[in-house]
């Protein structure tokens, strides 16, 4: 049965590269969540848009579900294939196609790794400013499908702001050309924006026209040590008032401990409970003086206990590693991840309430907090205790997430700030979206994919 379907796929698209080895099925069937057992039918690796269309036509004829697949660095299970799906990997479609110097846009194939896109932009003297630690492994198609955020949202916004056009293959194999690189286009529903963040449930993104911009002026990176949690927002306000911030990231002592035990260098002689990494424009003397004034203001008020500023690119990279290395350093503890957001103004009250909630319900939990404080986005990683089984741990963490979702609903926050809903958070979608809205989301899904063949079970169940 299985073999005949694969033979029919190869017949429908003779040049299409396929993989069926058990090791490949496992590799392409999972993402960074590592929670589900991968069990795809086959991996298809098209090299052209026409091949993607042929795969979708075959999927329609055979009724086989399709999981679009980029770098699979997702943390919400959005790229997991655990039920005999075809994994449609875009990894061979990884090139930059057209650059337009007047429009300042670059057309890229969806499988292009984010880091390669950064380099391609620099080759034209410009930048693509969305950035985060998984840059070497993730792909632009996956970034678009999840509306990825990252460390520079405070300055440049999410992926959504940087996409001028999309080519998308539909569930039935048609090709949509959405927005075609236009800046102004007031001609009805903007399906480009609808596809951004749709987690592979509405169509397969095959190409994107991305906007590029000028490189920022010279910048400095500063690491600050904070004596308590309560002063975090004051420090943020002091720096934001004086400097053009490019990043403002927070992490706890527990997070730093893990990164240090993973090989990073300790930044201070003493241990402090909380840390901030901030990056800001520092191209001239006035900006340097403003940075020192912000730092001294915070020291004078007792909000900051120590600080270090980068004196070279290598030092800046070292400081960044303390923040960007957290996910990798925690991976071996199979952390349960929450990626939540509230308005920046609600951050202090939300943080206090959430800390108390988790501390009261599960005092033995080892919880690692970090995140993009300047965007109101917090990552709460709970590490699995050695003496708790995988199953019990997930049950307990889901209880925490349920409580957290109730708090988020009160704060008008979101259960997923930047990782997507996928499989991990679909049970909590209703804490962020109302019933009428979810009803409309499902109606949109049915309009694009009436048979439910595109990434089924992700985001919500129909
Ligand atoms: C980050 O900000 C990523 O480093 C990953 O969004 C967060 O591992 C996480 O929970
Ligand atoms: Zn993040």
pLDDT at position 385 is 86
Nearest CA to ligand 1 atom 9: 327
Cβ contact 333:390 at 8 Å: no
Closest-approaching ligand to the CA atom of 323: 1
Give how far Cα 210 sits from Cα of 46, 279, 376, 379, Å. Answer: 22, 24, 26, 28
Choose the residue to mutate in 33, 73, 370 for probing ligand 1, maximizing ligand atoms within 8 Å of C-beta: 370
In a structure prediction context, what are the per-residue pLDDT tens digits for the chain, which is 462 residues long? 468 999 999 999 999 999 999 999 999 999 999 889 999 999 999 999 999 999 999 999 999 999 999 999 999 999 999 999 999 999 999 999 999 999 999 999 999 999 999 999 999 999 999 999 999 999 999 999 999 999 999 999 999 999 999 999 999 999 999 999 999 999 999 999 999 999 999 999 999 999 999 999 899 999 999 999 889 999 999 999 999 999 999 999 999 999 999 998 999 999 999 999 999 998 889 999 999 999 999 999 999 999 999 999 999 999 999 999 999 999 988 899 999 999 998 988 998 899 899 988 888 889 999 999 999 999 999 998 888 888 899 899 999 999 999 999 999 999 999 999 999 999 999 999 999 999 999 999 999 999 999 999 999 999
Structure tokens at 369: 């907090």
- Which atom number of ligand 1 is nearest to the Cα of residue 324? 4
Q: Are strands 204-211 and 105-109 parallel, antiparallel or unpaired?
A: antiparallel
* Distance between Cα 452 and ligand 2 center (Å): 30
Nearest CA to ligand 1 atom 5: 327
Cα of 68 to ligand 1 centre, how many Å? 22
Mutate to test the pocket of ligand 1, among 142, 326, 335 (most ligand atoms within 8 A of CB): 326
Per-residue pLDDT at 398: 94
Nearest ligand for residue 327 CA: 1
**For ligand 1, what atom is nearest to the CA of residue 418?**
6
Ligand with smallest separation from the Cα of 76: 1
Protein residue with least CA distance to atom 8, ligand 1:
327
Q: What backbone torsions phi and psi does residue 255 show, to the nearest 5 degrees?
A: -65, -45
Report the separation in Å between the CA atom of 399 and the middle of ligand 1, taken as the mean of its atom positions: 21
Pocket test for ligand 1, best of 339, 340, 341, 397 (most atoms within 8 A of CB): 339
Are the CB atoms for 415 and 76 separated by under 8 Å? no
Compute, in angstroms, the gap from residue 259 CA to the centroid of ligand 1: 13
Distance 446 CA to ligand 1 centre (A): 32
Compute the C-alpha angle 223/225/228, nearest 5°: 140
Q: Calculate how far, in angstroms, residue 178's C-alpha sits from the geometric centre of ligand 1.
A: 30
- Measured from the alpha carbon of residue 325, the closest ligand is 1
* Ligand 1 pocket list (CB less than 6 A): 75, 132-133, 327, 337, 339, 379, 381, 418
413, 341 Cβ separation under 8 angstroms: yes
Pocket residue to mutate for ligand 1, from 259, 328, 419, 425, most atoms within 8 A of Cβ? 419
pLDDT for 283 equals: 81
Q: How far away, in angstroms, is 327 Cα from ligand 1 center?
A: 6
320 C-alpha vs ligand 1 centroid, how far in Å? 13
pTM value?
0.96
**pLDDT the model gives residue 353:** 93
Within 8 A by CB and 6+ apart from 328, the residues are 133, 262
Rounded to the nearest whole angstrom, what is the distance from the C-alpha of residue 452 to the centroid of ligand 1?
A: 30
């Amino acid at each position: 049965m299985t073999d005949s379907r694969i033979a029919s796929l190869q017949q429908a698209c003779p040049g299409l590269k396929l993989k069926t080895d058990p090791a490949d099925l496992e590799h392409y069937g999972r993402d960074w969540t590592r929670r589900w057992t991968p069990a795809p039918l086959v991996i298809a690796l098209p090299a052209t848009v026409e091949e993607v269309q042929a795969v979708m036509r075959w999927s329609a004829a055979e009724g086989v579900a399709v999981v679009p697949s980029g770098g699979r660095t997702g943390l919400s299970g959005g790229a997991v294939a655990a039920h005999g799906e075809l994994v449609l990997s875009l990894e061979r479609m990884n090139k930059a196609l057209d650059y337009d110097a007047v429009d300042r846009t670059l057309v890229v194939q969806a499988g292009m790794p984010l880091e390669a896109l950064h380099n391609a932009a620099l080759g034209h003297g410009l930048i693509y400013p969305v950035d985060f630690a998984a840059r070497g492994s993730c792909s632009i198609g996956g970034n678009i499908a999840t509306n990825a955020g990252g460390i520079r949202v405070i300055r440049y916004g999410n992926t959504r702001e940087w996409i001028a056009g999309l080519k998308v293959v539909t569930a039935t194999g048609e090709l949509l050309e959405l927005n075609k690189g236009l800046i102004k286009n007031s001609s009805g529903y903007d399906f480009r924006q609808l596809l951004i963040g749709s987690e592979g449930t509405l169509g397969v993104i095959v190409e994107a026209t991305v906007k590029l911009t000028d490189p920022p002026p010279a910048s400095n990176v500063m690491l600050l040590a904070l004596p308590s949690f309560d002063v975090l927002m004051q420090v943020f306000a002091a720096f934001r008032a004086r400097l053009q911030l490019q990043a403002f990231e927070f992490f706890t002592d527990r997070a730093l401990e893990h990164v240090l035990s993973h090989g990073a260098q300790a930044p201070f002689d003493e241990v402090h409970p909380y840390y901030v990494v901030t990056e800001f424009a520092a191209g001239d003397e006035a900006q340097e003086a403003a940075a020192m004034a912000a730092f001294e203001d915070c020291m004078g008020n007792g909000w900051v206990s120590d600080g270090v500023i980068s004196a070279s690119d290598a030092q800046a990279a070292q400081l960044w590693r303390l923040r960007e290395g957290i996910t990798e350093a925690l991976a071996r503890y199979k952390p349960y991840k929450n990626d939540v957001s509230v308005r920046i103004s609600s951050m202090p009250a939300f943080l206090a309430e959430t800390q108390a909630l988790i501390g009261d319900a599960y005092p033995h939990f080892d919880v690692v907090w970090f995140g993009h404080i300047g965007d109101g986005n917090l990552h709460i990683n709970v590490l699995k205790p050695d003496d708790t089984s995988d199953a019990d741990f997930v049950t307990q963490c889901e209880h925490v997430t349920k409580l957290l979702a109730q708090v988020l609903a009160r704060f008008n926050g979101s259960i997923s700030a930047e990782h997507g809903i996928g499989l991990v958070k679909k049970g909590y979608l209703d804490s962020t979206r109302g019933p009428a809205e979810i009803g409309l989301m499902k109606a949109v899904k049915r309009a694009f994919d009436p048979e439910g063949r595109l990434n089924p079970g992700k985001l919500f169940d129909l």
